[in-house]
Chains A and B, each alone.
Chain A
Amino acid sequence: MSPHVLASGYSPPSPSSFWHPLIGEGATAITRPMFLMAFSVLLITALAFVVTRRMSLVPGSGQFVAEGIYTFVRNGVARDSLGSKEFLAFVPLLLTQFLLIFTNNLFGIVPVIQFPTFSRYGFALSVTLIVFVVYHVVGIRRKGLGGYFRGMVPSGLPKLVVPVIFLLELLTYFVTRPLTLSLRLFANMFAGHILLLVFFLGGTYMLVEADGLLINVASVGAFLMGIVFTGFELLIYFLQAYVFVLLSASYIATSIADDH
């Protein structure tokens, strides 16, 4: 691609592609992702009501899918991580988070919407803060304040390294864990959306704006890649929702674990 093609008005996707203020401007603006988040809550609530209103012994398709998702989170995530004695109390939290994250991620490839809500960091941070509060509160309730902090250090360590390891664990519990949990979700959504934008915006530009038959034809390749990566994103959307609740469950599990 010659430089003048780029210079003649193509603006590649950038962080500003994620800024969609609807009402107001600046820090207090009501943005499109906010509406998407609210819409997702309504959508999930409505769907949950519809599929559970007429439960039958032989499930219809809606009930089948709902039960599949519920069983997946309940057994595959909560029970496997927390053990069959403790897990039931945390299933509502984990299921809610999974549905919220997965639905909002799916918005990234739903036509017309086409925006994964969690590609704005604030949303990822908010759901992470809920987990953060839960695993600390649950751990402190279970072991008491002193016991909770004592329990962070694995038992049987040489006395000399205990303070150092304690500092490390403290940083892990209070900074690294929430940071990695929220950044992983945010960055995956952000990068995935950028990738799709590159292929589709770039392809459109190559087809419509750029002059030169070769470039117009080459846009087909960009669109094909865009379609391939849309399927790929679907996988990522699910995987990130799954990993998020799996890690949430494991953080709660380490907070209430008896040993070390």
Chain B
Amino acid sequence: MSASQERRGPRAGKGAGPGRPVLRPAAEDVPVRAGGGGGDLVAYNVLAYLMSGLLLFGGSGYLLDRWLGTSLLTLVGLLLGMGLGLYLVWVRYGGRRPPEDGGDGSTAGGPAPGGGSGA
């Protein structure tokens, strides 16, 4: 939060001095790429993915257990769901960047460099 406030600080229009128009369109000319909303977002989204994995496969395992009268499939489902959730998180937020993204990341500031400079 403080990072984003610092980042928008210089061009927010408040520090523009008493004589300058305050209601000018705030920095429309500065292109900002989508997906810069701060590091906590990733944490919340990761949580959602892990929960989805546990719910889907743990739940399926539980239902199969009820249906077949076994007791192991809930555990297997939970572990599988956890693993797949982690895999999805790795695919989405892991180090694998498409090549064109890494190319202009230095100028536009993707999620990783933006968060790094703000911290």
Contacts and interface: CB of A to CB of B under 8 A. Distances in A.
Interface of A: 55, 57-59, 64, 67-68, 71-72, 74-77, 79-86, 154, 157, 161, 164-165, 167-169, 171-172, 175-177, 180, 239, 242-243, 246-247, 249-250, 253, 257, 259-260
Interface string B24-45: 0011101111111110110011
A93 B18 CA distance: 31
Nearest to B101: A259
Interface string B5-28: 101100011100010011100111
A75 B37 CA distance: 10
B88 A57 contact: no
B77 interface: no
Given A86-B34, A168-B84, A243-B40, A176 B52 contact: yes
Q: Which 4 A-B pairs have the closest CB atoms?
A: A83-B34, A81-B37, A172-B52, A80-B36
20 contacts: A57-B21, A59-B22, A67-B13, A74-B26, A75-B8, A75-B26, A76-B8, A83-B34, A83-B35, A154-B88, A168-B53, A171-B56, A176-B51, A246-B37, A246-B40, A246-B41, A250-B35, A257-B34, A257-B35, A260-B92
A77 B32 CA distance: 12
B35 A71 contact: no
B38 A67 contact: no
Nearest to B28: A84
B48 A177 contact: yes
Given A75-B27, A84-B28, A180 B56 contact: no
B85 interface: yes
Given A67-B14, A74-B26, A250-B41, A171 B55 contact: yes
Contact of B13 (A71, A84, A167, A247): A71
Given A57-B21, A71-B14, A172-B48, 8 more contacts: A57-B22, A58-B18, A81-B34, A82-B34, A83-B35, A154-B91, A243-B40, A259-B98
B1 interface: yes
B70 interface: no
Contacts of B40: 243, 246
Interface of B: 1, 4-5, 7-8, 12-14, 18, 21-23, 26-28, 30-38, 40-41, 44-45, 47-49, 51-53, 55-56, 84-85, 87-88, 91-92, 98
Given A71-B12, A180-B44, A246-B41, A168 B32 contact: no
Which one of B37, B41, B56, B88 has the highest number of Cβ atoms from chain A below 10 Å of its Cβ? B37
Contact of B52 (A79, A168, A247): A168
A172 B49 contact: yes
B52 A80 contact: no
A79 B30 CA distance: 11
A222 B48 CA distance: 37
Given A76-B4, A154-B92, A157-B91, A243 B44 contact: yes
B62 to A, nearest CB: 15
A76 B12 CA distance: 10
Nearest to A249: B37
A80 B38 contact: yes
